[in-house]
Structure 1
């Protein structure tokens, strides 16, 4: 099939590359001329494992191209995916200006039947607005052309997006048109060879499915973070609790790890948007409001642990004179994405309390420099930031941090002290090494070997 993908960002670029990989002719469109020129030269604007290889291969084989020429892209494609950003407004609602701008561009340039697919995460009712914008442009032209609007939300995990797209848990198609449903089934058939995971439903239900899925996962994370904090107070071990409740087939183990709070481009934005959608429909979504509040509080936990253990309350800035080494800046491993990352809140809190902060991350240092500038020190070596630091704080659970050189950590730090926001290490191991160790939701080790 001939496909056009509007938006060469995270979702759009992954979708374009994966559709091309299955044999389609795909053109990705973006208004950012520099980004498009970079992509033509093989420069990938985001870090995602496997994406660069996929893009380069399909470019070389002529199935994937990049352009800013909207009329050409629209006229040459049957299916037009809208995969542009929907940033949150001040009230939490999704900003649809870019989605509707693309819809209008399609309406201005289409010359035959088109399927217009909302791939961006959009509120319930967006398909109606896209349809109206398209029709308005056709009316201005005095042209009567057939088109159909489809909701096809993405369910991609950053760091595993290629795998998620090529071997999806499910593909949701929202359409009321039988012919369009069959065309979309044909498009996704290569990804269904082992098992048909494609679900066709009405458009509004498809739009709601994306928000409901992310809100549910965010709820599990916030719930487990609350359980962890309660475990700390009561002397229980959250790792054991997770094993106990996860073994229940109705619950399962996924998204039950405590941590410093969720972040990224999806969960925070989608929770806010669903709360706002509920308000617009005269419904008070109390549970999601609590989920959001819990998450904001959780982002304060690690910096609070640093202040409790190292802070001098006699000072205006209790951590003045303290050096904190931080491992992990991205909101999750295998990505350079720092949008809404807990590390931002944690480091800002440490700086406000007077601490000197050094940081390492395998991929997110460039993004961190945009956020913090020269207010913190960066290193591409995870051990270089430890020299004479008062504590090591683990924020993101990159694989590189799971089995480090503990002898070297102990030798570099001023005192062997780790605050672990991801519960990466066994208590027995940390005790044997003589670390002071404070994980989340577990009985920490207060002092060397004690």
Structure 2
């Protein structure tokens, strides 16, 4: 099938490259010349495990990038909107990029005679496809959805760092469409997948995405709340959650207590769902609490640090881990961001190390000291905070000997607490 991808962020780049790998002809559209050039050269504009190899294999063959909407829409049968959907200051979703993409596609559909399907893959609140995207497409094209062109919603369920694997090995595919023909075109694109394919209307498909992320975020905040209680009672929360996770109704996933969740999805999506609920005059108490618990976890880490170093003014504190999770360079909503902010507010001198994310964090905190390895970041430190679950931090040992005071506050349970000479505190254990 001939596919155009609108937007080449995490979702767009991975979706386009993987569709190309499955034998489709793909045209990626973006406004950023740098991203376009990278994709055409086979260089991924983002880090994702396995993406570079696939992009090199298909760039210049059945995958290309352009800024030309006319070329992309004319030479494709189906377009996926993969643009950002941030939340505003109140937590409500910002749809400006969705509107711009819909208008740009609609203007090109005006002169296209063949049937074309427009699919929203960006995460949008329920009713967006039906009440925002479709009307804009109809107005810009002068045509009728469900007759002259199709509209659908196909949410993504990709984990950053494992997005290529997840695209190729999904546990489910959700196809949302408000007319049968559009739904059939989208389902045909996934022919050959053996996972369940769920068909629904567009607003149900949109809701499935939000509820999935909100539930996973809830499991994390629930685990952190339990972990905070367990620490006060001297109970190993990880052993508790091991026992809980053995229940087949619950599963062990997303039950690891720690600093909380971050990234481009969970915080934004829970806030957007809260915002959507307010529009229909409903107060989502549970979801608000999920966010509140998440915001509190870095404060608990700071409190534990100050138990050992009461006055942080002028003290050198090493922060290990800057990405919101391991195996990615993404720092969006990373728990390290508020943690560093609080340390600086206390007058601490912050040193930092992350295997992949330091360059991105420099845009947020340009004046702290960044190092190329954990040992150098720890050198002379009065304490250290572990903020990301990188595997290499679990192998640290002698590096702690370079610290002035060997105080380790572990926010991810990765450091061996029995290392000789260190004073170890787990945030929830």
Name the structure 2 match of 1:438. Answer: 425
The partner residue of 2:406 within 416, 424, 432 is 416
Following superposition, the deviation at residue 416 of structure 1 comes to: 2.4
User: TM-score of the superposition, structure 1-length normalised?
Assistant: 0.91
Q: Is 1:361 aligned with 2:354?
A: yes
Following superposition, the deviation at residue 227 of structure 1 comes to: 0.7
Q: Tell me the SS of whatever aligns to 2:248.
A: coil
**1: CA distance, partners of 2:223 / 2:335:** 16
Name the structure 1 match of 2:45. Answer: 45
User: TM-score of the superposition, structure 2-length normalised?
Assistant: 0.96
Following superposition, the deviation at residue 143 of structure 1 comes to: 12
**1: CA distance, partners of 2:264 / 2:101:** 21
Quote the RMSD (CA, aligned, Å).
1.6
Contact 1:329-1:360 at 8 Å conserved across structures: yes
Q: Tell me the SS of whatever aligns to 1:437.
A: strand
Contact 2:304-2:427 at 8 Å conserved across structures: no
Following superposition, the deviation at residue 183 of structure 1 comes to: 2.1
Contact 1:220-1:255 at 8 Å conserved across structures: yes
Q: Is 1:72 aligned with 2:75?
A: no
Post-superposition Cα deviations, 1:147-206, rounded to whole Å, max 9, x if no partner, equal: 11111011110010000000001110011333332222221123x1xx332111121110
Contact 1:325-1:386 at 8 Å conserved across structures: yes
Contact 2:117-2:185 at 8 Å conserved across structures: no
**2: CA distance, partners of 1:417 / 1:90:** 37
Q: Is 1:8 aligned with 2:11?
A: no
Name the structure 1 match of 2:375. Answer: 383
The partner residue of 1:185 within 184, 187, 212 is 187
**2: CA distance, partners of 1:247 / 1:145:** 50
Of residues 392-401 and 78-87 in structure 1, the stretch that sits farther from structure 2 once superposed is 392-401
- Aligned counterparts, 1:6-405, within 5 A: 6-60=6-60, 62-110=61-109, 111=112, 112-128=114-130, 129-139=132-142, 146-190=148-192, 192=193, 195-312=194-311, 319-374=312-367, 376-404=368-396
Q: Tell me the SS of whatever aligns to 1:116.
A: strand
Cα distance, 1:391–1:27 mapped onto 2, change above 3 Å:
same
**2: CA distance, partners of 1:358 / 1:352:** 15
Contact 1:303-1:347 at 8 Å conserved across structures: no
Following superposition, the deviation at residue 51 of structure 1 comes to: 1.1
Number of aligned residue pairs: give it.
425
Contact 2:43-2:56 at 8 Å conserved across structures: no
Following superposition, the deviation at residue 368 of structure 1 comes to: 0.8
Following superposition, the deviation at residue 142 of structure 1 comes to: 11
Following superposition, the deviation at residue 222 of structure 1 comes to: 0.6
Cα distance, 1:328–1:151 mapped onto 2, change above 3 Å:
same
Following superposition, the deviation at residue 384 of structure 1 comes to: 0.9
Contact 1:409-1:416 at 8 Å conserved across structures: no
**2: CA distance, partners of 1:116 / 1:271:** 26
Q: Tell me the SS of whatever aligns to 1:370.
A: coil
Contact 1:138-1:144 at 8 Å conserved across structures: no
Cα distance, 1:281–1:416 mapped onto 2, change above 3 Å:
same
Of residues 160-169 and 99-108 in structure 1, the stretch that sits farther from structure 2 once superposed is 99-108
Post-superposition Cα deviations, 1:376-396, rounded to whole Å, max 9, x if no partner, equal: 110111111111111121110
Post-superposition Cα deviations, 1:208-240, rounded to whole Å, max 9, x if no partner, equal: 000000000111111111111111111111111
Structure 1 segments (4+ residues) deviating >4 Å: 141-145
Structure 2, unpaired ranges of 5+ = none
Structure 1, unpaired ranges of 5+ = 313-318, 443-450
Following superposition, the deviation at residue 438 of structure 1 comes to: 0.2
Post-superposition Cα deviations, 1:275-315, rounded to whole Å, max 9, x if no partner, equal: 01001011111110111111111122222222221023xxx
Following superposition, the deviation at residue 104 of structure 1 comes to: 1.2
Of residues 227-236 and 41-50 in structure 1, the stretch that sits farther from structure 2 once superposed is 41-50
